[in-house]
Amino acid sequence: MLKILIPTMMLIPTTWLAPSKHIWPSALAHSLIIAIFSLLWLSSPGETGWWLLSNLMALDPLSTPLLVLTCWLLPLMILASQNHTSAEPVNRQRMYLMLLTSLQIFLIIAFSATEVLLFYVMFEATLIPTLILITRWGSQGERLNAGTYFLFYTLAASLPLLVALLILQKTTGSLSLLPLPYAAAFPLISVADKLWWAGCLLAFLVKMPLYGMHLWLPKAHVEAPIAGSMILAAVLLKLGGYGMMRMMVVLEPLTKELSYPFIILALWGVIMTGSVCLRQTDLKSLIAYSSVGHMGLVAGGILIQTPWGFTGALILMIAHGLTSSALLCLANTNYERTHTRTMMLARGMQMLLPLMTSWWFIATLANLALPPLPNLMGELMIITSLFNWSWMTIVLTGGGTLITAGYSLYMFLMTQRGPVPQHILALNPSHTREHLLLALHLLPLLLLILNPTLVWGWTA
């Protein structure tokens, strides 16, 4: 565990002490080495639930895939940010890298925490670097609004979580995740217990985000710089999912009834956000709303509390993290060239940058859950487990899948096909860096087809 954490912490002195022309190569190389070492975590011992166990941190089949995703994403974020920060003074670039690294450290500790309160503190701590990234490096005046929405939605929902955790600490005596599943079931009957149940889950539902509380996500995504969007879409949303999966064990037996409205809200959100995507004009906003839809499915899968549901949720989280991040990187390559996020003004890109079209195609197909990609595996398992709970959900999930396919293809056809406007005829050709970035996103996704057992959690 420390094998990865200490080098990540050391990345901060690296960025501050490296000479200015070596910052980006050295940060990239350093984070890439950390990422490759983190892949070793995937070779699990298998029998025991936890490995690499220590007082505070441990790995288990739920947190390992998310941790590997987090470590994998840091070099990708560094690759993606190189261009738009190149015009800034050196110290600001160092600051940027330090923010990304500190975010990484908080996320690693959060996912590997064995103590729920440590997880909570790290969960809150990730808000600060993200807020600084959005409000300082965002491109428009609306970024202040976006930062406010982002901070206060999550903060307001997570304060009840703190209270709920303290209550849990009082009743069980310990908040360690290791004995928590084996603790005696609590008699949860009063209204206060129901409020406690809601308090436990609300923070994670807002983070996921659940459809009714999702307003912060499109704003934050659109205003954030590319690295901020990537980490937001790929990992920070999964913090919500991971937290929910951890907390579910103590919330029995209330979940059977109380989760009803949230499952329905999540599924309705899939349809609604999909419909919104069909008439979106802003590319990044489209991808943000599609994230809300996918995470709605994840929320449904977790709240249903079956092995298939959990497995599907975990696979979908990993696959969506890679896909969404890839789509955001593609949108960024478009934005850096044409300087607009409006899809109408940058059409027919296939004629201009045909190699990018192949990446767009793979990422779009992943987004619409094409078999045999893990996106489909996750979605299918969640849909099946929901169908098992109630046959009527198939209407919502089926319609949602249809609309998802619709808007993914709409996005592809709008950006890649169509008449080429004259003002984008002369564009910078694709850089190797951009191809590398997208390859590093989509190659793991394709490799996961071959061995999905790595990411499917406890049902191994």
Using CB under 8 A as the criterion, which residues of the chain lie in contact with another protein when the complex forms? 139-141, 279-281, 338-340, 342, 344-348, 418-426, 428
Nearer to another protein, 372 or 421 (CB): 421
Nearer to another protein, 340 or 430 (CB): 340
The structure tokens listed for 288 are 């943000």
Shortest separation between residue 422's beta carbon and another protein, angstroms: 5
Cβ proximity of 251 and 326 under 8 Å: no
Shortest separation between residue 413's beta carbon and another protein, angstroms: 13
Report CA Rg, the chain: 21
Nearer to another protein, 298 or 403 (CB): 403
Shortest separation between residue 92's beta carbon and another protein, angstroms: 19
Amino acid at 107: L
Shortest separation between residue 334's beta carbon and another protein, angstroms: 11
Shortest separation between residue 424's beta carbon and another protein, angstroms: 8
Shortest separation between residue 357's beta carbon and another protein, angstroms: 17
* Overall residue count recorded for the chain in this entry: 460
The structure tokens listed for 455 are 């990411």
Cβ proximity of 148 and 218 under 8 Å: no
The structure tokens listed for 209 are 């985000």
Q: Which residues contact 250 (CB under 8 A, 6 or more apart)?
A: 168, 172, 180, 183, 186, 200
Which helix (H) or strand (E) segment holds residue 438: the answer is helix 432-450
Shortest separation between residue 370's beta carbon and another protein, angstroms: 25
Q: How far apart are CA 257 and CA 413, in angstroms?
A: 43
Nearer to another protein, 171 or 342 (CB): 342
Nearer to another protein, 255 or 280 (CB): 280
Query: 145-158 b/e with 16+ CB inside 10 Å = b?
Result: ebbebbbebbeebb
Nearer to another protein, 302 or 414 (CB): 414
φ, ψ for residue 252 (rounded to 5)? -65, 155
Shortest separation between residue 119's beta carbon and another protein, angstroms: 35
Q: How far apart are CA 247 and CA 262, in angstroms?
A: 16
Nearer to another protein, 163 or 278 (CB): 278
Q: How far apart are the first and last CA of the chain?
A: 22
φ, ψ for residue 113 (rounded to 5)? -70, 140
Nearer to another protein, 83 or 172 (CB): 83
Asked if the peptide bond before residue 225 counts as cis, ω within 30 degrees of 0, the response is no
